[in-house]
């Protein structure tokens, strides 16, 4: 697979929305392409308006960093200062015209050759409350690709 199509994006969103609904938190979920540009985004009924932009930016950040936003969160976490990026981690904050997100819930989409071909982001499910978090939801979306192509 070389790129994420709208059709695949819709399948990913559907699976991810199912998990967000299961968690009981209406959320926004976004899928972006390898350029970080939106392919599809849905805001579930009842989700806060800010969740759309946050989910888009999480997906973008995952592509831009080539890593989950969970890792970006670690990079600026004061408790781990110096371990990942030295003391300069805070310099990330102003990157990408302030679009970088440091909240877990955005993952890159990789193909078989581990090349980043897109990103998926979710916002709306609180972390550390239940068993399902934003990260779980995007992983469910990611898994939907393989349900289709196995």
Partner 1 sequence: MGIDIATAKKIIKAGIQQARKMGNLCSVAVVDDRGFLVALHRMDRAPIPTVDIARDKAWTAATFRMSSSEIVKFGDPAAPGYGFNTQNGNDRLTTIPGGLPITDGNEVIGGVGVSGGTPEDDVAVCRAGLAAVFAAD
Q: Which residues bind partner 1 (CB under 8 A)?
A: 5-6, 9-10, 35, 37-45, 49, 52-53
Total Cβ atoms within 10 A of residue 66:
13
* Backbone angles phi and psi of 45, in degrees to 5: -55, 130
- Looking at the Cβ atoms of 52 and 139, the one nearer to partner 1 is 52
- Looking at the Cβ atoms of 6 and 143, the one nearer to partner 1 is 6
Nearest to 44 by CA among 60, 22, 28, 65: 28
Minimum Å gap between C-beta 5 and partner 1 is 5
The position carrying tokens 């990408």 is 96
- Looking at the Cβ atoms of 2 and 150, the one nearer to partner 1 is 2
- Looking at the Cβ atoms of 8 and 75, the one nearer to partner 1 is 8
Question: Cβ(54)–Cβ(123) under 8 Å?
Answer: yes
Question: Cβ(124)–Cβ(17) under 8 Å?
Answer: no
Integer Cα distance of 56 and 101 in angstroms: 10
């Amino acid at each position: 697979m070389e790129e994420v199509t709208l059709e695949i994006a819709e399948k990913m969103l559907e699976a991810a929305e199912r998990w967000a609904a299961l968690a009981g938190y209406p959320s926004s979920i976004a899928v972006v392409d390898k350029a970080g540009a939106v392919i599809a985004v849905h805001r579930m009924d009842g989700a806060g308006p800010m969740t759309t932009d946050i989910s888009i930016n999480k997906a973008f950040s995952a592509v831009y960093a080539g890593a989950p936003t969970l890792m970006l969160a670690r990079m600026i976490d004061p408790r781990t200062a110096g371990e990942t990026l030295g003391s300069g981690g805070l310099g990330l904050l102003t990157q990408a015209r302030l679009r970088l997100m440091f909240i877990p819930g955005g993952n890159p989409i990789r193909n078989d050759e581990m090349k980043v071909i897109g990103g998926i982001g979710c916002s709306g499910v609180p972390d550390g409350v239940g068993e399902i978090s934003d990260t779980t939801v995007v992983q469910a979306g990611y898994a939907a690709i393989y349900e289709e192509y196995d």
